[in-house]
Structure 1
Amino acid sequence: MAEYILNLLPVTEEEKAAFQEAAPRAVHVCAGRRTVTAEQLEQATILFGWPRPADLSRAPRLKWFQSMWAGTDEYLAPGVLPEGVVLTSSAGSNSQSVAEHALACLLALCRRLPQCRDQQRERLWTDPGKMKTLSGATVLVAGAGHIGSWFAGLCRGLGAHTVGLKRDVSRSVEGFDRLAVMEELDGLLPQADVVALMLPHSPQTEGLMDARRLRLMKEDAILLSMGRGSVLDQEALAAVMGEGRLWGAALDVTVPEPLPQDSPLWTIPNLIITPHSAGGMRLEVTRANCVRQALDNLNRWQAGKPLENLVRR
């Protein structure tokens, strides 16, 4: 029986033709997350995109699902993905976007731009004081994956010394001067001028950056949280920054999201909060990468080759 490929990715007409060419005998149907029908889900054997988790229970014939995002937490919850369905992600598709966002926040903090913006609102012409540079700084990245590698490369281009933390350090990762295992975190925190959290959510990473570790950081260090909000203890961060520690911090992810209006984080002057906007489809390169990865994996599927970015067999 021919494959029924349900494509929920934001594809161009040219890209639709490329998918058709990759699997010429398959039935190809393009739809949107909000417009997909029950009949389309029921027929689908291959699914690309960002379906609602509840919709997957309505796809009994599904064999392989490639998520539009790098994170697949919502689909790995018990009972969401039918047994036996292969799951792949779009890991790496938004690396440039998130890395550039992290660098923008970092440079803004180094140059005290949040303070300058606050002064602008008050129509104050006041010297913001001393500033920081990445030249000669040590940047510690917890999570030396796709995004961490891209971010480290940007920082190294500005003269920083980059250290990446990951579980397996047997192979080098582009952008890093040095790799270290996660167990070295405590020893490296006091040496870092910048600490960037770019870790996924897992039982091992939840609450990793707690009050004790925040206090291991240099008093004038900068913290960036760009992976998953669960990695950082937000109450501890508010307390530590309330004591006058840390030069500044930037959070693109929080728990919960949206961040509650009564959170003390909102009023910390040297803290940048962005609404989980570092990644997504905000750059055309991210969309194109995501589509290319799905197409490459479809070619692999057709040829019986191992799929890239495999999350679950």
Structure 2
Amino acid sequence: MFQTAVIPSFGPFSPAQKERLKTAHPRQEVHFFDHLPTPAELAGFDCIIGNPPVSLIKELPDLKLLQLCSAGVDVYVNDPDYPRQVILANASGAYGEIIAEFTIGMHLYLLKQLGQYRDAMAEGRWEMLGQVSQLAESTVVCLGTGDLGASYAKKAQLLGAHTIGVKRTPAAHLPGFDQVATMDQLEEVLPQADALVLSLPDTPETRQILNARTLSCCKDGVLVINIGRGTAIDTEALCQALDAGKVGAAGLDVTDPEPLPQEHRLWKYPNVLITPHVTGGSCNAVSRERIVEIANRNISAFIETGAVPHAIDIERKY
């Protein structure tokens, strides 16, 4: 019998969700823990649903599959102690909609200068701050075309934006995008962008992909939003671009470093909105429903075939 342990991660599953996990496959037994189990408690388990520390995983010689409750995997793929024989699966698909809503909200907040108007309100100032931009008929370049980037792009399209997706490998067409380019073509598409939306994982290829050189390719006043990993942006280059007006506004749910130190100058810009890595909504009820669906699908596939569709490539780090 295939043994699966569910450990606490991002809030508890409901009784109905637990029942669906328990009955997903006839050759699976599911055990729920209300605490982080010890290696002895997890001896003999084939699978874990949750986000345990790597220090625990490496003590479990019987473990075959780790099903994360998060979309991000960098804690695991960047740790040399992660046991390569344990298949790693994430919860990509669970967070796209909620993060897309947050990103659209952040985009409109910046376009309409709502932060500056909030500041004026706090000071009792009735003051028009000048012309604002619109999302309709603008061009948004999305660095990252996975669940997060595509979910945002579909909503931006509905509001009238022209969307360009940038990804590692070529694609003729992707839902949500009017145009698709490769990372090799990045500097060719950047001049078209009224806004850049980054939803990239943390990999050697994506670190500081937005830097002084790539920012110099953009039109003056470009809007920058990062909902992926903070390491995708050279923070000092971003600050310099904000100072020069090359970047007109920025929305950052992730930063480098993270957390951002209290004394960092990024906090001081009135045209920058910083949130503390919260776009996923701390795994709300809808996301947990999707995590259950993803986990059941992946575990059933593994029991039947020994493989998991779309498992994480440890070497590529996504």
Give yes or no for TM over 0.5: yes
Match of 2:4 in 1: 5
Matched residue type, 1:161: H
Q: Report the CA distance between 1:25 and its aligned residue.
A: 4.2
Q: Is residue 16 from structure 1 mapped to residue 18 from structure 2 by the alignment?
A: yes
Matches of 2:293 and 2:202 in 1, distance apart? Answer: 26
Match of 2:50 in 1: 49
Change in Cα spacing, 1:312 to 1:142, as seen in structure 2 (3 Å) is closer
Once the two structures are overlaid, the 10-residue window that deviates more, 216-225 or 70-79, is 70-79
Matches of 2:194 and 2:79 in 1, distance apart? Answer: 40
Contact 1:201 1:231 in 2 (8 A): yes
Matches of 1:53 and 1:280 in 2, distance apart? Answer: 24
Once the two structures are overlaid, the 10-residue window that deviates more, 237-246 or 19-28, is 19-28
Structure 2: state its 5+ residue gaps.
none
**Aligned-residue RMSD, C-alpha:** 1.7
Structure 1: state its 5+ residue gaps.
none
Contact 2:17 2:289 in 1 (8 A): no
Contact 2:249 2:272 in 1 (8 A): yes
Contact 2:21 2:292 in 1 (8 A): no
Match of 1:297 in 2: 298
From 13, 27, 30, the counterpart of 1:28: 30
Match of 1:81 in 2: 82
Q: Report the CA distance between 1:305 and its aligned residue.
A: 6.5
CA deviation digits over 1:224-268, x for unaligned, max 9? 111111110011111111123322110111122110112110001
1:201-220 alignment, distance < 5 Å: 201-220=202-221
Contact 2:302 2:308 in 1 (8 A): yes
**TM, length-normalised to structure 1:** 0.94
Once the two structures are overlaid, the 10-residue window that deviates more, 239-248 or 104-113, is 239-248
Q: Report the CA distance between 1:86 and its aligned residue.
A: 1.1
Match of 1:160 in 2: 161
Q: Name the SS of the counterpart of 1:39 in structure 2.
A: coil
Which aligned runs of 4 or more in structure 1 are off by greater than 4 angstroms? Answer: none
Q: Report the CA distance between 1:131 and its aligned residue.
A: 0.6
Q: Report the CA distance between 1:38 and its aligned residue.
A: 3.4
Match of 1:197 in 2: 198
Q: Percent identity?
A: 32
Q: How many residues align?
A: 311
Once the two structures are overlaid, the 10-residue window that deviates more, 39-48 or 129-138, is 39-48
Matches of 2:4 and 2:162 in 1, distance apart? Answer: 46
Q: Report the CA distance between 1:285 and its aligned residue.
A: 1.6
Match of 2:110 in 1: 109
**TM, length-normalised to structure 2:** 0.92
Contact 1:46 1:63 in 2 (8 A): yes
Q: Report the CA distance between 1:306 and its aligned residue.
A: 4.0
Contact 1:228 1:253 in 2 (8 A): yes
1:58-69 alignment, distance < 5 Å: 58-69=59-70
CA deviation digits over 1:88-139, x for unaligned, max 9? 1111211112111111111001111010111111111111211111111011
Match of 1:100 in 2: 101
Q: Report the CA distance between 1:68 and its aligned residue.
A: 1.1
1:140-179 alignment, distance < 5 Å: 140-179=141-180
Contact 1:56 1:80 in 2 (8 A): no
Matched residue type, 2:3: Y
Q: Report the CA distance between 1:211 and its aligned residue.
A: 1.1
Contact 2:221 2:247 in 1 (8 A): yes
Contact 1:156 1:175 in 2 (8 A): yes
Matched residue type, 2:6: N
Matched residue type, 1:270: N
Match of 2:275 in 1: 274
